[in-house]
Structure 1
Amino acid sequence: MELRYLAAFVAVAEELHFGRAARRLHMAQPPLSQLIRQLERELGVQLFERSTRSVRLTSAGESFLEPARRVLDDVDLAKLAVKAAATGEYGRVVVGFAGASSHAALPRLARAVRAAHPGIDLVMKVQTYASVALDGVADGTLDLSFVRLPADRPGVRTRVIDNDELVCALAEDHPLAGETAIDLADLAFEPFVSLPAHAGSTLRDAMVGVCEERGGFTPRVVQEAPDSNTVLALVSAGVGVTITLTSVEHVCRGGLVYLPLAGPSVPMRAALAWRPDNPSAALRAVLAVAEEVLPTPPE
């Protein structure tokens, strides 16, 4: 069975119109009809029900469509692999990400990799928290991860891609919502909403640390939530206040006010993490693209 038979069949099956399928294949309609008849003779079944006004797949045609697509896809993949093998631009890179703060950088990197190295398959693995994604790099289950510093895993290298800051999120009707900046001491008796303490959240640790250091208190967490979206929704509903990141302000705008913390800014640096001993040429190609589209910002 020749590949041109399969390409002809798939085109007609998807268009359900011989004229459109012929134009898609850049050929005349009579030769296309002849290819389909030859394929049907070879298979010994009728693949299409034809009338003067319509074309429909038979049950045999419906059964044949997905296997035919897979064969054509595999041929395309084989061609791509041969072309990319000479340059090392072929392979699979497993990327871990967590939290709303990586949602802007991740698509930018993915689009750039697809454009520069179409033979590299980026497999996205969503993690609950950045610390979990970092663990995945350390144990080798992930090739690359979006993380938050500090990231202290043996054998893992990081590069900063964004400088974030801590801010306070309050309901828009909160008594402090009209301030230009939040003195953390003013939040000492406020209820807080936060990510879970047991999950190793870098943001949770930063929130507790800055409240203790600048405000002289440990935040009283009355409600925990699994992600920033839910945390901010609860803050908007008046359940409590929270300390979050400037990069997640886009997650929830309605009913919220984001205010800077009084005093020096508290940086929370976003980074990429990988193992330098990972032998993957595809990973090195992705890291090179990341250098261009996600450069390290000035301090």
Structure 2
Amino acid sequence: MNPRYGGGMETRELRYFVAVAEELHFGRAAQRLGIAQPPLSRAIRQLERRLGVTLLERTSRAVALTEAGAVLLREGRAALDAVDAADRRTRRAASGGPGLVLVTKAGAAADLLPRTLAGYAAQPGAVAVDVQLCGIGEQERLLRDGRADVALLHLPFDSVAGFDYEELGTEGQVAIVPAGHPSAALEKLTMAEAAVLPGLPLPRWPHRDGSYPDGPGPEVRDNAQLFQLIALGRAAAVLPESVRLHLRTDLAAVPVPDAPLVTTVIAWPAHSRSLAVAGLVRAAQATMPRL
């Protein structure tokens, strides 16, 4: 039997509803789910009757979410993510995988990460930590879907909704430009100026869900690709000030005082009881005075 949520809602029904709500088309949702359309329609009507609300407004030409439907879509996604994450973590534990999986954006936390890992390894009972370096904006998704136990995230760009977290440090931002570009000699830039540097468009970001401001430039997947594009004179970017620590010699950093402050956090699933996660968080917190 499928697990049930309050009011008798089954995960199967929730998956059906989320598919329809995302597609806003019963035919496409049925195809995505691998079922016929009539049973899908019946399941949604049964769900609406059980909840006593209308979730979808249907016409002969369109399907639209009601206000109640929008709430269930948001909450349903979170609930299904939690179920899938629990399944993945349970299977990983049973398979004898690494004790902890930590994800961080490639090229980020270059100074924080080694100190955190060293501090944790020195703790009694420390387990193996598998560090996975991911593309820009991917670490939050990996933590939500259960492929990671802990993540280093960056506010305001990543969302910590549904996670427990501890702040590790806050910093300003700088514009990264080619070392030979006229802007590299400037004392500072405003955000507005950084967005219109001649020949250096700001990039487009994948996996951003509206949190990373898009520019008109090339789409980037990770910092290595981004820095190469900047060095070639194809883009510029506004990034946390800590990128200065290991900046390539063909790039320059110009302060952007009016850019939003960036806070690095270590995040983990809410209400976790893992002693290993708690130990890793303590090790990360111990680095705070040195950030």
Q: What TM-score results when the alignment is normalised by the length of structure 1? A: 0.56
Q: Give the aligned length.
A: 192
Correspondent of 2:275 among 273, 281, 284:
281
**2:155 corresponds to 1:160:** no
Aligned residues of 1:99 and 1:128 also touching (Cα < 8 A): yes
After superposition, the CA RMSD in angstroms is 2.8
Structure 1: state its 5+ residue gaps. Answer: 1-90, 209-218
Aligned residues of 2:171 and 2:240 also touching (Cα < 8 A): yes
Correspondent of 2:249 among 238, 245, 254:
254
Aligned equivalents of 2:197, 2:184: Cα separation in 1: 16
> Which letter does structure 2 place at the counterpart of 1:138?
R
**2:145 corresponds to 1:139:** yes
Correspondent of 2:219 among 215, 224, 229:
224
Residue 290 of structure 1 aligns to a residue in which SS? helix
Counterparts of 1:1-299 in structure 2, within 5 Å, are 92-117=99-124, 119-129=126-136, 131-150=137-156, 151-187=158-194, 188=196, 190-192=198-200, 196-200=204-208, 205-206=212-213, 208=214, 219-221=215-217, 223-261=218-256, 263-294=257-288
Aligned equivalents of 1:94, 1:152: Cα separation in 2: 19
**Whose radius of gyration is greater, 1 or 2?**
1
What is the Cα deviation at residue 134 of structure 1? 1.7
- Return closer, same or farther for 1:255/1:285 CA change in 2, 3 Å cut-off: closer
Aligned residues of 1:229 and 1:251 also touching (Cα < 8 A): no
Aligned equivalents of 2:247, 2:149: Cα separation in 1: 31
- Return closer, same or farther for 1:119/1:179 CA change in 2, 3 Å cut-off: closer
> Which letter does structure 2 place at the counterpart of 1:277?
H
Aligned equivalents of 1:274, 1:167: Cα separation in 2: 28
Aligned equivalents of 1:284, 1:189: Cα separation in 2: 44
Aligned residues of 1:147 and 1:272 also touching (Cα < 8 A): yes
Aligned equivalents of 1:294, 1:117: Cα separation in 2: 21
CA-to-aligned-CA distance 1:141-197 (integer Å, 9 cap, x gap): 321111111343543012111212221122222222221111344452634455543
> Which letter does structure 1 place at the counterpart of 2:274?
S
Aligned residues of 2:203 and 2:236 also touching (Cα < 8 A): no
- Return closer, same or farther for 1:195/1:97 CA change in 2, 3 Å cut-off: farther
Q: What TM-score results when the alignment is normalised by the length of structure 2? A: 0.57
Partner of 2:60: none
Aligned equivalents of 2:141, 2:107: Cα separation in 1: 19
What is the Cα deviation at residue 92 of structure 1? 1.5
What is the Cα deviation at residue 250 of structure 1? 3.5
Which range moves more in the overlay, 229-238 or 271-280?
Answer: 229-238
What is the Cα deviation at residue 265 of structure 1? 5.0
> Which letter does structure 1 place at the counterpart of 2:285?
E
Aligned equivalents of 1:111, 1:276: Cα separation in 2: 25
Aligned equivalents of 1:119, 1:282: Cα separation in 2: 7
